[in-house]
Amino acid sequence: MSFIRIWMIAAFSTVAVNAAVTQEAKHDLPQRVPVPVERPDTKSSVGKIKPAEEAGPISPPGEVLRAAKKDERIYQVACPVLMSGEIDGTLIPPLKENNCGEQSPLKINAFGKETPVRLAAPVIINCAMATALVEWTANVSALAQKHYHSPIKKIVTGSDYQCRRVNNGSSGRTSEHAFANALDIISFTFENGKTTELKSGWNAKGAEKAFWRDLHKASCKRFMTVIGPDGDAAHENNLHLDLGCHGKDCMARICQ
Ligand SMILES: [Zn+2]
């Protein structure tokens, strides 16, 4: 074989390989279309959730966040009370864990714009809860002014987002906490330094009892479910507030 013949074979082979690579690259491009993140499958069985005792501590939300692929768009919604500054918080990535989750959760440090009321620890709830809690906090502050002659400064909360069943049961309904649609209230600190806890305050005397009873009544006008110490033993030290749907049109309320 002459040198020229060998050179020609090598040159034609290179052209053929280059053409194949170009074809492959062209074929690849249209496949990269952003896909929306699926909503939590609320129809699937709740049997996948382990009882709280077996499951151990619920993972911090950061560990269950769905990692987005490089060129994938995550669809979330804006929250008006976050945009207007009526809450101090941020929109965080979607939560998805078995059939629990929320597409547009908020991590909140305080409620209120002019005189924000801080939370002892940040909470993760949905926009509807955040909106209801802004008005509720102003309401509670007015009640504090009435009974303690001092507005509220800080709120200590219990459960916020948590993938579990109602009352940590091993069977039964999935809790509204599992959809970031609930928050438990434990105690308040007032501007004048005084504090009150639900557990001791619910049946206390005078102003303290009146404060908690008025607060319970006011809560029932803003939330769809309110469960306090008179509801069941699981709520002797925390007031459960949620915006769950009761009744055919989601218009029924539970106030206990
Ligand atoms: Zn609760």
Dig out the tokens for 154 from the structure: 């800080």
Within a domain: 147: yes
Does 89 fall in a domain? yes
Backbone angle region of 101, left / alpha / beta, with phi > 0 → left and psi within -120 to 50 → alpha: left
Distance from Cα 3 to the centre of ligand 1, integer Å: 84
Distance 111 CA to ligand 1 centre (A): 19
Ligand 1 centre to CA of 69 (Å) is 34
Angle at 124 (CA atoms; ends 219, 131), nearest 5 degrees: 45
CA 60 to ligand 1 center in whole angstroms: 17
Residue 20 has pLDDT above 70, yes or no: no
Task: Quote the ligand 1 centre to 32 CA distance (angstroms).
Answer: 42
38 CA → ligand 1 middle, Å: 26
CA 240–ligand 1 middle distance (angstroms): 4
What is the Å distance from ligand 1's center to 156 Cα?
A: 13
DSSP string, 8-54: HHHHHHHHHHHHHHHHHHHHHGGG----PPPPP-TTS-GGGSPPHHH
Percentage of residues in the chain having pLDDT higher than 90 = 67
Centroid of ligand 1 to alpha carbon of 159 (angstroms): 6
Q: Has residue 193 been placed in a domain?
A: yes
Beta bridge partners of 219: none
Would 11 be classed as within a structural domain? no
Residue 197 lies in a domain: yes
Q: Report the chain's mean pLDDT, rounded to a whole number.
A: 81
For residue 13, being part of any structural domain is answered with no
CA of 115 to the centre of ligand 1 (A): 26
The predicted-structure confidence for 189-228, as pLDDT tens digits, reads as follows: 999 999 999 999 999 999 999 999 999 999 999 999 999 9
Q: Examine residue 21 and state whether it is found in any structural domain, yes or no.
A: no
As for how many domains the chain has, the answer is 1
Q: How far is the centre of ligand 1, averaged over its atoms, from the C-alpha of 84 (Å)?
A: 27
Pairing verdict, β 117-125 and 106-111: antiparallel
132 falls within a domain: yes
- pLDDT, position 73: 86
Average of pLDDT values for 132-160? Answer: 97
User: 206, exposed or middle or buried, with CB in 10 Å at 0-12, 13-18, 19+?
Assistant: exposed
Domain range for residue 139?
46-255
Detail the DSSP E strand segments found in 116-221.
Answer: 117-125, 152-157, 182-190, 195-197
3-state secondary structure of 131: helix
Quick check: 117 pLDDT over 90?
A: yes
